Amino acid sequence: MADAELVVEVTGAVATVVIRNPGRRNAMTPAMWRQLPVLLDGLEADPVVRALVLTGADGTFCAGADLGDLDELLDAGDASIAVAAEERLAGFAKPTVAVVRGACVGGGCQLAVACDLRIAADDARFGVPPARLGLVYPSPTTRRLARLVGPSAAKHLLFTSELVDAGRALRIGLADEVLPGADLAARVDVLTGAIVERSQLSVAATKEIIDGRADDDRVAWWHGQVRASGEAREGVAAHHERRPPRFRWTPPAGR
């Protein structure tokens, strides 16, 4: 197994991407930044996969970009490989959950913020350190963080470069849930299990609308899919019959 890589595991309808870089607290190398969009393309196209979990190996989420390769990451500015990977993750068509243990710093925090949900262990620590390193974060990254936690909390994180614990992350909206580490895996299984059992039409449409990627024509298309697919009829019938719904909608090719 390579020293630094992204490892994909698929269990049922849930794909897990594990950030692995032993000895560097799972820092992302240039090769790993380039690898991530390729993996996401394949998982998005896989009809079996309905949700994605992003996590780190060995009790650490990700300590950020590998600073040994800083020049390569800086050369392209907003078009850098790190931003390309982050944007691809943010645009992933299926629900994404960051499962955070230990350090979630810099580029690691960028990746967590690009996910739809963030579930953290109580030992998690979050930080965005550009001011400590003399960097200016790319505009998509900065704006995404501000949308998530609000302008004031984003400025505090970016101005100070301070690490915040899981409790503060929960209070400012950087984490959605915080649990003891021993309970984290079970909770993630329950959460992703619920997501993959729901109507994937509803989930996909909701994600596009909340993320601002669905204009009026696209919303109308989604409503047409509701009528054509029979998903709503099945959901209502299952409710009345007191049984689990059997949703069958899958994304049309090339939608």
Domains of the chain plus CATH, in order, are 5-195 (3.90.226.10), 199-241 (no CATH)
- Over its C-alpha atoms, the chain yields an Rg (Å, rounded) of 19
C-alpha span between 88 and 90 (Å, rounded) = 5
Give tens-digit pLDDT for 6-52: 999 999 999 999 999 998 999 999 999 999 999 999 999 999 999 99
Q: Mean pLDDT, to the nearest integer, of 194-212?
A: 97
C-alpha span between 237 and 246 (Å, rounded) = 10
Nearest 5°: the CA angle 186, 168, 210 is 70
Least confident span in 66-70, 128-132, 218-222, 236-240: 66-70
Q: Mean pLDDT, to the nearest integer, of 117-121?
A: 98
* Amino acid sitting at position 193: G
What is the DSSP secondary structure assignment for residue 242, as one 8-state letter? T
